């Protein structure tokens, strides 16, 4: 039997539908363009009528204000004067016509556009500044073999700098720079030279953001406003497992948090660090100079962590920066000595193994994880390299060597490690700390080389020499580098702390449940229940291999 051919409508229906859809799209675009043209033409034709109507409205408003400002005892005389003028105008030949013409002229004058005309170009001082920028860029953006150079001494700077904005002080606020295609914009050193030059010529003391468009051969330079430094510690609207490290520019993040800033409610873009089982950056390393705000960052993290978990604090500086947390609910230990630090970190390592074993047994039995393994545990270490030197001198075990288990398996056990160290002791940090702390924060003044060595990538802004406490950069894993300002979380027992910031920290502290002199050792806290006797301890490596 011969096969019947398909109907023509089935074989050509999809093509006809595509053609009709394309035709409808074209007609829609054409009608939208016609509507826009008609609207522009109508606005041009009706512009005199719009101007006169706006002027009449302004004249009427002025008359109402005049009537309201006139005292009541003089309003009768004013009405008599207006009536007399109207009568004279009505009796004069061509009076009403002249009155209407005069009213229309006054309305047209009052309804005119009063916006000042924008200048055709910058003033002479700003022009000289742009010419100086152009001449400074000539050695970097020119080549002897270029037949039509965009940059040449005495050349046309308006082609190379087509867009520019200035602030109130006359300095460059935004600048669009075009450069030739043969410039090596893919090399870090070439970019750094241009950024350093523009920072010097556009005005020092400010931070600039550099947006390199390699496809279009354009560079956009923007002067950034300083980040607010007066945001005090407070309860942030975050989910469990989210920690606010600080605040940044609105152009780098898509999320905002409602905050109380300067007595007003406003939305500020935050830098949120996510921890937990599905976190790709479970541990954090903060680096800075003395007084740069690393202890402030750790106090801010501790106050946020105490909402849903427990905290163990090990302070190597011995300055008592965390005395306000001693004996609080959820604070398992605040150690400042070598013996206490070693004991606390040993307990954390043991607790990590206990949680892994308990979770593994529950999974093998088909049960959910035990409740005592779900509560997050935070380990905050401020300057742990101090204990490294003390342990070497006293013949004890280095506390950093005990951090290998919490750092390697802490994500699966619900344990987060935060380390804060200074620049002069950064080389003394152990390899486990460097390898497993993928979230990085740099506070205080630092060079571009130092920032890249810690963050793993250079920032898109120029660092400044004078920075307020808590000001720096943050990078979470392989993400972008953010400008960062840590919320003001000072030591409430410090006499130099303002009353507003002291009270803000005291309001966030948990209740004191244990007297300071009777605080138990972390090895005897509720997070370490009495273990059941086991025939043989199971190595943590075997547990991880079996669970995987």
Binding residues for ATP: 288-295
Q: For 202, what's the count of Cα atoms within 13 Å in the CB-facing half-sphere?
A: 28
Give the Cα separation of 440 and 420 in Å (integer). Answer: 10
Tell me the angle at which helices 338-364 and 540-547 cross, rounded to the nearest 10 degrees.
30
400 close to 429: Cβ distance less than 8 angstroms:
yes
Write out the two tokens for 305: 């962590």
Would you list which residues are annotated within the binding site? 288-295
Write out the two tokens for 69: 């400002």
Q: Is 4 exposed, middle or buried (0-12, 13-18, 19+ CB in 10 A)?
A: exposed
Give the Cα separation of 510 and 422 in Å (integer). Answer: 29
Radius of gyration of the chain (CA): 35
Q: Is 439 exposed, middle or buried (0-12, 13-18, 19+ CB in 10 A)?
A: buried
Per-residue CA distances from 144 to 124, 150, 152, 420, 433 (Å): 31, 12, 10, 51, 51
Report the sign of the C-alpha dihedral through residues 75, 77, 80, 86, in that order.
Answer: negative
Give the Cα separation of 177 and 141 in Å (integer). Answer: 11
Give the residue among 294, 295, 277 at the shortest CA–CA distance from 240: 277
342 close to 275: Cβ distance less than 8 angstroms:
no
Rounded-to-10 torsion of CA 4, 5, 9, 12: 160
Give the Cα separation of 53 and 543 in Å (integer). Answer: 83
Collapsed DSSP state (helix, strand, coil) of residue 521: coil
Give the Cα separation of 97 and 104 in Å (integer). Answer: 11
């Amino acid at each position: 039997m011969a096969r019947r051919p398909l109907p023509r409508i089935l074989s050509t229906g999809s093509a006809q539908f595509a053609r009709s859809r394309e035709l409808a799209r074209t007609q829609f675009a054409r009608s939208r363009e016609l509507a826009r043209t008609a609207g522009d033409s109508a606005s041009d034709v009706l512009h005199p009528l719009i101007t006169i109507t706006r002027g009449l409205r302004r004249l009427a408003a002025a008359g109402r204000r005049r009537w309201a400002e006139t005292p009541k005892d003089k309003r009768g005389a004013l009405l008599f004067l207006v009536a007399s003028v109207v009568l004279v105008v009505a009796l004069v030949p061509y009076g009403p016509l002249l009155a209407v013409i005069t009213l229309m002229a006054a309305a047209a004058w009052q309804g005119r556009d009063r916006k000042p005309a924008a200048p055709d170009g910058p003033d002479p001082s700003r022009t000289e500044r742009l010419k100086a920028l152009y001449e400074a860029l000539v050695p970097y953006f020119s080549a002897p073999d270029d037949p039509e150079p965009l940059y040449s001494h005495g050349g046309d700077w308006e082609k190379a700098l087509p867009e520019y904005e200035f602030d109130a002080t006359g300095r460059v606020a935004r600048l669009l720079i075009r450069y030739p295609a043969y410039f090596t914009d893919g090399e870090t050193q070439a970019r750094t030279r241009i950024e350093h030059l523009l920072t010097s010529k556009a005005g020092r003391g400010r931070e600039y953001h550099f947006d390199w468009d390699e496809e279009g051969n354009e560079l956009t330079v923007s002067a950034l406003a300083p980040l607010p430094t007066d945001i005090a510690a407070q309860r942030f609207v975050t989910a469990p497992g989210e920690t606010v490290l600080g605040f940044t520019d609105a152009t780098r993040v898509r999320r905002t948090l409602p905050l109380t800033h300067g007595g007003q409610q406003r939305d500020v873009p935050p830098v949120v660090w996510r921890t937990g089982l599905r976190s790709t950056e479970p541990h954090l390393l903060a680096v800075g100079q003395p007084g740069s705000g690393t202890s402030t960052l750790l106090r801010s993290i501790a106050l946020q962590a105490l909402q849903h978990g427990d905290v163990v604090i090990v302070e190597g500086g011995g300055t008592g920066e965390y005395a306000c947390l001693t004996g609080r609910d959820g604070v398992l230990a605040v150690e400042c000595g070598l013996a206490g630090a070693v004991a606390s970190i040993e307990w954390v390592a043991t607790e990590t193994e206990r949680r892994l074993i308990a979770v593994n047994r529950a999974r093998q039995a088909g049960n959910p994880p035990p409740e005592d393994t779900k509560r997050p545990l935070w380990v905050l270490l401020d300057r742990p390299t101090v204990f490294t030197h003390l342990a070497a001198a006293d013949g004890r075990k280095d506390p950093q060597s005990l951090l290998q288990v919490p750092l390697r398996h802490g994500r699966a056990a619900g344990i987060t490690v935060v380390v804060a160290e200074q620049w002069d002791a950064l080389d003394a940090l152990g390899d486990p700390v460097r390898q497993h702390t993928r979230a990085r924060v740099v506070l205080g003044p630092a060079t571009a080389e130092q920032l890249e060595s810690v963050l793993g990538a250079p920032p898109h802004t120029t660092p400044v020499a004078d920075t307020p406490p808590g000001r720096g950069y943050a990078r979470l894993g392989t993400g972008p580098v953010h400008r960062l300002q840590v919320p003001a979380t000072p030591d409430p027992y410090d006499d130099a702390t303002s009353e507003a910031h002291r009270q803000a920290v005291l309001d966030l502290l948990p209740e004191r449940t244990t007297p300071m002199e009777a605080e138990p050792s972390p090895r005897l806290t509720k997070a370490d229940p009495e273990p059941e006797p086991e025939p043989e301890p199971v190595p943590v490596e075997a547990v991880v291999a079996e669970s995987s």
